[in-house]
Amino acid sequence: MQRQWSLQAPGEPEAEPGGEELCEQEMERLCLSQQPVRVLPYAMVDKRFIRQLREPEGVKTSCWQQWRRRRQTVGRRLGEAARRLTRGCGLWEGALYEIGGLFGTGIQSYFTFLRFLLLLNLLILLLTSGFVLLPLVWLRPPDPGPAFNNTYLFYGAYRAGPESSSTYSIRLAYLLSPLACLLLCFCGILRRMVKGLPQKMFLGQDYRSPLSAKVFSSWDFCIRGQEAATIKRHEISNEFKMELEEGCHLLLLQQQTRAQRACHLLTYLRVNILIGLLVVGAISAIFWATKYSQDNKEESLFLLLQYLPPGVIALVNFLGPLLFVFLVQLENYPPNTEVNLTLIWCVVLKLASLGMFSFSLGQTVLCIGRNKTSCESYGYNACDYQCWENSVGEELYKLSIFNFLLTVAFAFLVSLPRRMLVERFSGRFWAWLDREEFLVPKNVLDIVEGQTVTWMGLFYCPLLPLLNSVFIFLTFYIKKYTLLRNSRASPRRFRASSSIFFFQLVLLLGLLLAAVPLGYVVSSIRSSWDCGLFANYLAPWQVVPELVALWLPPPSQRILYYLGSHAFSFPLLILLSLVLTVCISQSQASSRAIRRLRKQLVWQVQEKWHLVDDLSRLLPEPGSGSRPRSFCPGFPCPGSPGPRPRGNPSASTLGAPDSPCPALKGLPAT
């Protein structure tokens, strides 16, 4: 969108004809362009004028134009409605507005993320109930079993008759809905992640988020309230100082000798290996806790032991970050590196603990990775588990409930008393303790853990998304209360853009972590022989070939078999490589073109100033001595306040002394 024109200042009468011509050209361009009037950067009076010029009121518009205009209006309204829907129909708008006004967009992004997750869970619930629950209830009335385990909360309660070619296959629906949900979530998360992706500023340079973009977009215009503005100023000042420090540090680094660089690398390795060992220790603790809890089911203390795995996970995830922060701070890294390193390790710890939890469950229930006689006959531990899916579902419910109770407990038993004590007493200790800092990454990791558990449980407990939705809904209000009453703002700035990318990335990792065990179970593990939908199948996935044989005619069957076979992977791989090659070569060609254009632009501006210099020497000296207007593209300059007080170009130097043109200083004076 180039607005390639400029007007001379109105006080220069000799330029009138040129100005008039420019005006006419611009008017013509504006009238002919298809852009809607609202995107033009002019005042309302001018927009109305342009609109009038485009479609004069008296002239009858043709049916085609009327229809087009109606279609555009309808399209715009639909777009607005769709956008409102994806934002949850205005759910929590007031609360988000208040939080944004008081704390800025960084912290507001956490609460927007909560809303996104709530909508995701409701969508999953809708899909599951629409395709599985409702047909089940419709086709076969529910018979309530004696135990809690036989409700629709768990896998075991779902039953269906043998497959036939004419009825709706509950089995297929039950099998495919978790996979479809995971796929939809994957696409949704990827889309949002790409939106927040920090872009490379200069091609060929190392990636560093551009300082200029940060400076220009650092003020949150939604802040209301003097206090919030003061806090924001502190944050911005700290951020700028940190960036400058980082820049100096980077320069220093580049001047290091090889030996110094090797030394630096070694210290880097040292701290990472140490933290890695801690993480390994933590997840083995989780492994043993889960095994112990499952092996000692007959103990009298079983009620306590039931919650041992969630308890150990919570403890590990509480102590871990504290230790990481302590260890990383010992090394005296620049602040950005510190923050990033700690964050990465916290994410690794969180996801590894969940992964280890599911692995150790798999080991006890399904004998993965060890040989036990009880597993040999059925492929799962039939001695201890009648219906192993139900047991896994129970564990996941327990984990989910425990995490939520922990959130509530922390909010009301730790943050609230802390605030009350700090307010009540004064003294060095209490001043040092201060209120709790609202750390966005930590809260995000907690909520992503809950979501990962939900995704893990889609196959075993189809109603877990409902429970998670309720938890997220309550968490929003609890966290809002904690933020507004019991916390203080963190001095370190958390930018909204990097946070969107970070949140979605962690969510994506959680989704992948949940998808792997699900894929394994669905494709290779024998289901329980006397409960659930897949009792007579070797693995749940075997329903699909059976149904394909029942429903589809032989030619389609052959095509499907081919698509699913190994032989198809070769053409697919070749096709994907081709597409990838085209994309990469296109982007390389574009970056070459951009480099060339940049050089051309610099050269042209140099030449322009050179010519202006020649002209100013040739012309008789005008009285005003104003700096020649910059004819840079795109800006319709408002009226100049008159000749600039500084910037009297002499014959041999260009430009005003206060705006250096380093590229031009070397030009020879002709």
The answer to whether 46 contacts other proteins (rule: CB under 8 A) is yes
The answer to whether 8 contacts other proteins (rule: CB under 8 A) is no
**Window contacting other proteins (CB under 8 A); options: 153-161, 240-248, 336-344, 515-523:** 240-248
Please identify which residue in 148, 372, 635, 669 interacts with other proteins, judged by CB under 8 A. Answer: 635
Q: Determine the Cα–Cα distance for residues 430 and 422; give it in Å rounded to an integer.
A: 5
Listed as own residue / partner, the contacts of 637-642 with beta carbons closer than 8 Å and 24 or more positions apart are 637/6, 637/7, 637/9, 639/9, 639/10, 640/9, 640/11, 642/9, 642/11
Q: Provide the minimum distance between the beta carbon of 223 and other proteins in the complex, in angstroms, as a whole number.
A: 6
**Number of C-beta neighbours around residue 146 at 10 A:** 6
Q: How many residues bind other proteins (CB under 8 A)?
A: 102
Q: Determine the Cα–Cα distance for residues 663 and 601; give it in Å rounded to an integer.
A: 12
Q: Which two tokens stand for residue 414?
A: 């730790």
Residue placing its CB nearer to other proteins in the complex, 12 or 384 = 12
The answer to whether 90 contacts other proteins (rule: CB under 8 A) is no
The answer to whether 114 contacts other proteins (rule: CB under 8 A) is no
Q: Which two tokens stand for residue 355?
A: 């992964």
Please identify which residue in 85, 213, 414, 582 interacts with other proteins, judged by CB under 8 A. Answer: 213
Is-contact 493 236, C-beta < 8 A? yes
Is-contact 155 461, C-beta < 8 A? yes
Q: Provide the minimum distance between the beta carbon of 102 and other proteins in the complex, in angstroms, as a whole number.
A: 11
Residue placing its CB nearer to other proteins in the complex, 109 or 527 = 109
Q: Provide the minimum distance between the beta carbon of 578 and other proteins in the complex, in angstroms, as a whole number.
A: 30
Q: Determine the Cα–Cα distance for residues 319 and 322; give it in Å rounded to an integer.
A: 5
Q: Which of residues 66-85 bind other proteins (CB under 8 A)?
A: 80, 83
Is-contact 486 427, C-beta < 8 A? no
Q: Determine the Cα–Cα distance for residues 451 and 448; give it in Å rounded to an integer.
A: 5
Sign of the Cα torsion 63, 65, 67, 70 reads: negative
Is-contact 138 192, C-beta < 8 A? no
The answer to whether 625 contacts other proteins (rule: CB under 8 A) is no
The answer to whether 53 contacts other proteins (rule: CB under 8 A) is yes
Q: Which of residues 26-45 bind other proteins (CB under 8 A)?
A: 26-27, 36-39, 41-45
The answer to whether 630 contacts other proteins (rule: CB under 8 A) is yes
650 three-state secondary structure: coil
Q: Determine the Cα–Cα distance for residues 89 and 405; give it in Å rounded to an integer.
A: 29
The closest alpha carbon to 389, from 545, 228, 530, belongs to 530
**Window contacting other proteins (CB under 8 A); options: 47-55, 116-124, 151-159, 267-275:** 47-55
Can you say how many angstroms the Cα of residue 593 is from the centroid of all Cα atoms in its chain?
A: 31
Please identify which residue in 163, 325, 655, 667 interacts with other proteins, judged by CB under 8 A. Answer: 655
**Window contacting other proteins (CB under 8 A); options: 124-132, 216-224, 457-465, 474-482:** 216-224
The answer to whether 21 contacts other proteins (rule: CB under 8 A) is yes
Can you say how many angstroms the Cα of residue 454 is from the centroid of all Cα atoms in its chain?
A: 19
Q: Which two tokens stand for residue 532?
A: 């659930």
List, as one string, the DSSP characters of 192-244.
Answer: HHHHTPPPPSSTTSPP---HHHHHHT-S-TT--SHHHHHHHHHHHHHHHHHHH
Longest Cα separation, the chain = 105
Q: Which of residues 408-467 bind other proteins (CB under 8 A)?
A: none
**Residue indicated by tokens 């004064």:** 426
Q: Provide the minimum distance between the beta carbon of 331 and other proteins in the complex, in angstroms, as a whole number.
A: 26
Please identify which residue in 142, 145, 225, 417 interacts with other proteins, judged by CB under 8 A. Answer: 225
Q: Which of residues 573-602 bind other proteins (CB under 8 A)?
A: 598, 601-602
For residue 141, the one-letter residue type is P
Q: Provide the minimum distance between the beta carbon of 550 and other proteins in the complex, in angstroms, as a whole number.
A: 50
Q: In the stretch 295-334, what mask flags binding to other proteins with x, by CB under 8 A?
A: ----------------------------------------
The answer to whether 15 contacts other proteins (rule: CB under 8 A) is no
List, in sequence order, every residue forming a beta bridge with 436; answer none if it has no partner: 487
**Window contacting other proteins (CB under 8 A); options: 177-185, 255-263, 544-552, 654-662:** 654-662
The answer to whether 335 contacts other proteins (rule: CB under 8 A) is no
**Number of C-beta neighbours around residue 1 at 10 A:** 8
Please identify which residue in 265, 433, 573, 663 interacts with other proteins, judged by CB under 8 A. Answer: 663
Q: In the stretch 493-522, what mask flags binding to other proteins with x, by CB under 8 A?
A: --xxx--x----------------------
Q: Which of residues 167-206 bind other proteins (CB under 8 A)?
A: 195-199, 201-202
**Window contacting other proteins (CB under 8 A); options: 152-160, 217-225, 388-396, 477-485:** 217-225
The answer to whether 211 contacts other proteins (rule: CB under 8 A) is yes
Residue placing its CB nearer to other proteins in the complex, 105 or 121 = 105
Task: Calculate the alpha carbon distances from 433 to 254, 300, 329, 428, 614 in Å.
Answer: 39, 41, 19, 9, 68
Please identify which residue in 97, 318, 326, 425 interacts with other proteins, judged by CB under 8 A. Answer: 97
Residue 659: HSE in the Cβ half-sphere, 13 Å Cα cutoff: 10
The answer to whether 247 contacts other proteins (rule: CB under 8 A) is yes
